[in-house]
Structure 1
Amino acid sequence: MSEKVVVIYSGGMDSFTVLNKAVQQGYEVYALSFNYGQRHVKELKVAEDVCRNLGVNHKIVDISAINQLIGGSSLTDNIDVPEGHYEEESMKSTVVPNRNMILLSLAVGYAVSLKANKVYYGAHSGDHAIYPDCRPEFVKKMDDVCRIANYEEIEIVCPYLNESKIEILADGLKMGLDYGQTWTCYNGREKACGKCGACQERLEAFEINQAQDPLPYEV
């Protein structure tokens, strides 16, 4: 019987690559997506379609009530989404307070209930400067805690923690993945905006990998 793992799957290109890596490694994958009150749920619809096509177990959990407690992010509140590269100071407005600690805690609980022993998520080196809950030291501490928080030891796994989105895409292309099955843009319109930090980083990754992004863009 295959080993069970939980993958936190947003529908974006990083978690899409992590999901497929876990599947191709032969794990019995349980994908877990969250509606935490983000501006749009287009990513979640994309995630649902991908999991159905892969035959992967998938849950979408509504935790949007947490927005009564954690606000101030342009991804959840009525604040304009900044445009430009992630390195720009304005991108800090996209931080959702304590998001990954909350999501990881829920995913670990799910893993325990499934008798899985690993939780995967898609933090990478490009996130370190902006998102505190994607830094290696955060992942290490969360891994330490999640190994002792239950009778069952759960490992936190970030396959791309020390790699960039450019390297993630390169690996995914080698795996033969179709990134037309992902959604990255912070705006949930018909086409990706091409201007927000998420789009900028994605487009840069495709350009450096000398590949064509299959998503349609407004610009």
Structure 2
Amino acid sequence: MVNLVSGGLDSTLVGVLAHEEGLHTHPLFIDYGQHSAEMEWETCQQVHAHLELSTPVKMDLSGFGRVIHSGLTSDELNVKEDAFTPGRNLLFLLVGSTYAYQVGASNISIGLLAERFSLFPDQRNEFIEKAESAIEVA
């Protein structure tokens, strides 16, 4: 399983639960040009080492954030009011699935808010279902 990781609680918990179930994980950290990329990456590495989880791999897609502006990628926008980053979760799923193909994994995990708490259209079930269909074809 490819686990899309950020160093945060959700993706770490998925890694711990998978480890406890005896599943082999391939943690993948994606630097998409977010402000906190270095801090997230350092935290991710430390947490995985401390918990004796598989070592995460970092994929540098920081050019995405230089072109696609949001509060998470641009100093000119407000992180709270402008947090939606168009295409980010689709990018994560596409990259995660292509990495899964390369390492022979059949599943990927991504941490999204429950639909009733979702703030953005790419956190909803309809998005996930359509993304899965597109990835299957690709």
TM exceeding 0.5: yes
d(CA) in 1 for partners of 2:33 and 2:54?
Answer: 24
Deviation >6 Å, runs of 4+: none
Partner of 2:71: 74
Unaligned runs of 5+ in 2: none
Is 1:12 equivalent to 2:8 in the alignment? yes
Q: Secondary structure at the match of 1:61?
A: strand
d(CA) in 2 for partners of 1:21 and 1:138?
Answer: 25
Partner of 2:56: 58
Partner of 2:99: 110
Question: What TM-score results when the alignment is normalised by the length of structure 2?
Answer: 0.87
Structure with the higher fraction of residues in helix conformation: 2
d(CA) in 2 for partners of 1:55 and 1:38?
Answer: 24
The Cα of 1:50 is off from its aligned counterpart by 1.7
Instruction: Please provide the CA RMSD for this pair.
Output: 1.8
The 8 Å contact of residues 127 and 134 in structure 1, kept in 2 or not, is answered as no
- State the Cα deviation string for residues 159-216 of structure 1 (Å, max 9, x = none): xxxxxxxxxxxxxxxxxxxxxxxxxxxxxxxxxxxxxxxxxxxxxxxxxxxxxxxxxx
Choose which of 115, 118, 128 in structure 2 pairs with 1:129: 118
Is 1:32 equivalent to 2:28 in the alignment? yes
The 8 Å contact of residues 71 and 83 in structure 2, kept in 1 or not, is answered as yes
Change (3 A) 1:128 1:136: farther
Question: How many aligned positions are there?
Answer: 135
The Cα of 1:49 is off from its aligned counterpart by 1.0
Partner of 2:127: 138
The Cα of 1:51 is off from its aligned counterpart by 1.9
Structure ID, larger Rg: 1
Is 1:148 equivalent to 2:137 in the alignment? yes
Question: What TM-score results when the alignment is normalised by the length of structure 1?
Answer: 0.57
The 8 Å contact of residues 66 and 73 in structure 2, kept in 1 or not, is answered as no
